[in-house]
Amino acid sequence: MIERDLRALRRALAAKEISSVELTELYLQRIARHNPQLNAYISVDPESSLAQARAADQRLASGEGGPLTGIPIAHKDIFCSRGWLTTCGSKMLGNFVSPYDAAVIARFAAAGAVLLGKTNMDEFAMGSSNETSFYGPVKNPWDASCVPGGSSGGSAAAVVARLAPAATGTDTGGS
């Protein structure tokens, strides 16, 4: 299942080959197993993600939902996400829990996506190696002696290592 693209995952969910809860659990298990070596994620909230997945399964069962309903997506930690830590890779925002969703997060939610976790990044997106995060550098899944690039290296590493089927990223100054 982890090798399928978003379209194939959507078809699998629609055909009931897998539920959103099962798919989300699969990715959460992979994150728990591989993130300690890669440091792709800053925060993961299994309880919140699984609650979203349960709601997505209900929408799918009733024939409702958007194009991403039930699909877990990782988001770069630069995007405010209601109820989640949003640190921008900085100690200064280490305790900031956003009271609102950024527009991109709200649009993914409206499309039915499950927020899987927040990915590591260069502090305030000001870097190109993903080594300046307060939470430590992200390791390249193909070669841990290399960096995945930045500032969205956590998102890149999460997708390449199949810790998420897709992830958001940004470009600040040519990254």
pLDDT tens-digit map of 38-61: 999 999 999 999 999 999 999 999
Task: Spot the catalytic one: 20, 49, 76, 152.
Answer: 76
Task: Spot the catalytic one: 19, 90, 152, 175.
Answer: 175
- Joined tokens for residue 84: 């989640």
Catalytic, 76? Answer yes
Domains detected in the chain: 6-160 (3.90.1300.10)
How far is residue 139's CA from residue 150's CA, in Å, rounded to a whole number? Answer: 11
Q: Which residues contact 171 (CB under 8 A, 6 or more apart)?
A: 152
pLDDT for the residue numbered 130: 83
**N- to C-terminal Cα distance for the chain?**
30
| Res 173 pLDDT > 80 | no
Task: Spot the catalytic one: 20, 133, 151, 152.
Answer: 151
Catalytic, 43? Answer no
pLDDT for the residue numbered 149: 87
Average pLDDT of the segment spanning 139-158: 93
pLDDT for the residue numbered 150: 85
Catalytic, 98? Answer no
Contact predicate 74/41, CB 8 Å: yes
Listed ranges 90-94, 129-133, 170-174; the one with the highest mean pLDDT: 90-94
